[in-house]
Chains A and B, each alone.
Chain A
Amino acid sequence: MLAVSLRSLRFVPPAGVGFAMLLLCGAAAAQQAPAAAPAPAAAPAQPWQQGRSAAQEESTLHPFAPHMTGRPAQELPINTLRVPPGFKVEVWVDGVPEARSLALGDKGTVFVSNRNGKNVYAVVDRGGKREVKTILKGLDAPNGITFSKGTLYVAERGRITRYDGIEGQLDTPPAAKVVIDNLDPNRQPGHFWKFLALGPDGKLYFNVGAPGNIVMPNYMQASIMRVDPGKGVLETVALGVRNSVGFDWNPKTKELWFTNHGRDWLGDDAPNDTLNRVSKRVPNFGYPFCHQGDILDPEYGKNRSCAEFTPPVLKLGAHIAPLGMRFYTGKMFPAEYQNNIFIAMHGSWNRNTKQGYNVTRVTFDADGTPTMRPFLTGFLTDAKADPPMWGRPVDLLVLHDGSMLVSDDYNGIIYRVSYAK
C-alpha cells in the first residue's frame, strides 16, 4: 500500500494551497542570500508567518485551530461566562461543529456556517428542544451566509449562491443557484474566506481578503465588494481593507460599518484592529501602506503618507481579531443599548499576552465619540497560556425576541444572551 501511495503521490500535481505555497516559496527562496555551506533552504513561510522579522522566526506564536468535532457544553466551564447585571448567558445549542457566521430565517430557523468545514447547518426549535440539521454539504469554505425574503445566500471561497425557499424544505434543500462565480480564480493564499451580508440597497456585500499578512494585493483583493443578486455585476465598495469578517449598516444613516484585521508581526501593541465606516464612494483604508489610520507600514509605507487614507472610527486593540459586528435594534435589551454596536472578538494569537475572546459593546456619546467596554467575558482563562482560552466568539445574531446569539467556532457552540428586568 505504501508503494502504491508513493507512486500516486508523485504524479498528482499539487493544487490549491499547496500550489500557492510553491509559488510563495519560490519567491522566498530567490530573496535568500546563497548559503556558505550546502545546508538545505529554510522552510518557506506560511501566509500567517509572512512578514516576520528575522528575530521573529523563532517565535512560537501561532493561530489556534478549532475543535473540528466540537466539544459538548457539559465538558466546558460555561458558568465562568459573565454578562452585565440583569443579563443572562446560556448555552443555546451545542453540537454545531465550527459554528461561524449566523443568519436568521423568516420562520426563526438559525443558519450556521463553516470556514474550515464544508457545511451549512440549520438549527430549528422544536418546542424548546433545538435540533441541528446539516442542510448543505461539500461546500468550499462557506463562511458567509445571509438570509432575506425566503432565500439563503452562501458565500463560498470563489462564488456566491442562493437557495430559494430553503426554510420550508430543510430536509430536502433546493439546488444551489449561482449569483456570481469565479471570485477566486487563482485560489489565493491568505484570507480567502468571505463574510456576506445583504445591504439596505438589496445588494450582497462581501470581503475579498489580502492574500497574506502584509503583501501587495491585486486589484480585487483587500477590498469590500458588492453584487446585485439580480444582475451579477461586481462593484467595489471599499479598498485597503486587509480582511473584514463582519459588517452591518447603521440603522439611522444606512452607512456601512465594518471591522478590519490589522497586520501581524509588528509587535504586541501595533497595529490596532479597527472599526470603520464607509461614508463616501470607495474609500481606501490604507492597507498595505498605512495601518489604523496613522502607522505607516515599515516596508510598504515608505514614501507614503497616512493622510491620503480614511482613518478608522475606533481602534479596537492589537491582534484582538474582531469578527461579527451588529447594531443592536432589538426590543429586549435596555433602551440605552439601542443602536449600540456589538463586536465579537475572536481573540489574539499574534501577541505574547493574549487579549480579546469576548463580545464588546460600543456606545456613542452625544457628539458621536465611541467608547467600548466588554459585554460578554470569561472565555479567556490565562493570557499567557497556550491555548489561552476555552472558547472563541465569532458572529452575533439578534433574534426576533431581541435576545442575541453568539457563535463559538472553537467548540461548535452557540450561546444566547437575554435580558430580564
Chain B
Amino acid sequence: MGATHRARQAATVAAVLAAGLPMALACGSAVAADADAAREKAQLCAVCHGPEGNSTNPAVPSLAGQPAQFIATQLFQFREGNRKDPQMTPLAAGLSNADMNALAAYFSRQKPAAPARASDPAAVAAAQRLTEQYHCVQCHGAALAGQQHIPRLSGQQRDYLRAQLIGFKAGTRADMDGNMTSAAQALSEKDIELLADYLSGLDRP
C-alpha cells in the first residue's frame, strides 16, 4: 500500500480525533454498556479498520467477530506501551478500561465479511499442514476463529498476519504470555508467507 494512502488515512484519523474523541471521552465509563455510544466511538476505528471493523486494507486487521477479550487486551497493550504502533499508540492513550471494554464488545458482535482475497489454491494443502504441525488450532480453535484473549485468524488481512508473525519471531511483537513468540521461532520465511496467504483467504465458519 502506498505512502499517499497511508498519509491520507492518518489525516482522516487526525480529523476524526479532533472532532470525535473529546466527545467520546466525555461519555466516560457510564456508557460502557451503551451500544449506541460504542458504535459512535467505533466510527473512529472504522477509518482504518473498515466499516463495522471489516478492514479493506491488507496491513490493517479486521476487528469484526474477534473475541472481545482479545480486542480489549490489545487496546490495553497499546495504551501500556507494550505493543507499539504509530497510529494505535496515541489512540489507545486516551481510552479508559471501560472504553476498551465497550469497543471490544461492539466489534466482537459485528459480522465478519467474506475474505477479501482468495488463498493460492496450489498452496492450501501445504499451509493446512503447517497449521496442524505448529499446533495453531490448539489455541486459536479448530476453525481458527479465536477464543478468549486469542485472536480469530480466519479471513484476517494477509499483510497484517505476516507482519505479526515476523514480529513474534523477532521477539518484538507484544506477547503477554510468550506463547506466540515461542511458537514463531520455528517458522521459516516461507512458512510465514504460506500461513498468511492461507489464513487470509480462509472463509469464516
Contacts and interface: CB of A to CB of B under 8 A. Distances in A.
Interface of A: 1-2, 5-6, 8-10, 12-19, 21-22, 24-25, 29, 39-47, 57-60, 62-65, 67-72, 75, 95, 97, 116-118, 189, 386-387, 412
Nearest to A117: B80
Nearest to A98: B76
A59 B138 CA distance: 7
Contacts of A47: 178
B73 A68 contact: yes
Nearest to A19: B171
B101 A46 contact: no
A65 B180 CA distance: 14
A15 B80 CA distance: 18
Q: Lowest 9 CB-CB distances: which A-B pairs, in order?
A: A18-B171, A14-B171, A69-B97, A65-B149, A17-B178, A43-B183, A68-B76, A9-B170, A69-B72
28 contacts: A1-B86, A2-B1, A2-B163, A8-B172, A9-B166, A9-B167, A10-B170, A13-B171, A14-B172, A14-B181, A18-B175, A21-B178, A22-B171, A40-B187, A40-B191, A42-B134, A43-B186, A44-B185, A46-B177, A68-B76, A68-B77, A69-B72, A69-B76, A69-B104, A70-B97, A189-B178, A386-B147, A412-B97
Given A21-B182, A97-B97, A63 B177 contact: yes
B153 to A, nearest CB: 15
B172 A9 contact: yes
A60 B183 CA distance: 15
Interface of B: 1, 6, 32-33, 59, 69, 72-73, 75-77, 80, 86, 97-98, 100-101, 104, 130, 133-135, 138-139, 147-149, 159, 163, 166-167, 170-172, 175-179, 181-183, 185-188, 191
Contacts of B139: 62
Contacts of B191: 40
B102 to A, nearest CB: 10
A345 to B, nearest CB: 20
A46 B178 CA distance: 7
Given A2-B1, A2-B163, A68-B76, 16 more contacts: A5-B163, A6-B166, A13-B171, A17-B171, A21-B181, A21-B182, A29-B186, A42-B135, A43-B135, A44-B182, A46-B179, A65-B176, A67-B72, A68-B72, A69-B101, A70-B101
A65 B80 contact: no
A67 B73 CA distance: 7
Contact of B182 (A15, A43, A72): A43
Contacts of A387: 148
B73 A6 contact: no
Contacts of B75: 69
Nearest to A386: B147
B163 A64 contact: no
A316 B86 CA distance: 48
A298 B165 CA distance: 36
A12 B182 contact: no
A40 B126 CA distance: 11
Nearest to B100: A69
B138 A62 contact: yes
Residue with the greatest number of chain B CB neighbours at <10 A, chosen from A12, A69, A117, A386:
A69
Nearest to A137: B80
B18 to A, nearest CB: 22
B171 A16 contact: yes
B163 to A, nearest CB: 6
Contacts of A71: 101
A357 B59 CA distance: 41
A71 B100 CA distance: 11
B170 A14 contact: yes
Nearest to B84: A5
Residue with the greatest number of chain B CB neighbours at <10 A, chosen from A16, A25, A68:
A68
Contact of A42 (B72, B76, B133): B133
A65 B72 CA distance: 12
A40 B133 contact: yes
Contacts of A68: 72-73, 76-77, 176
Contacts of B147: 386
A43 B86 CA distance: 31
B74 to A, nearest CB: 10
Contacts of B59: 1-2
A68 to B, nearest CB: 4
A412 B177 CA distance: 18
A69 B32 CA distance: 12
Nearest to A8: B172
B138 A60 contact: yes
Contacts of A24: 182
B194 to A, nearest CB: 10
A16 B59 CA distance: 27
A43 B176 contact: no
Residue with the greatest number of chain B CB neighbours at <10 A, chosen from A9, A15, A95:
A9
Residue with the greatest number of chain A CB neighbours at <10 A, chosen from B69, B73, B138, B171:
B171
A75 B68 CA distance: 14
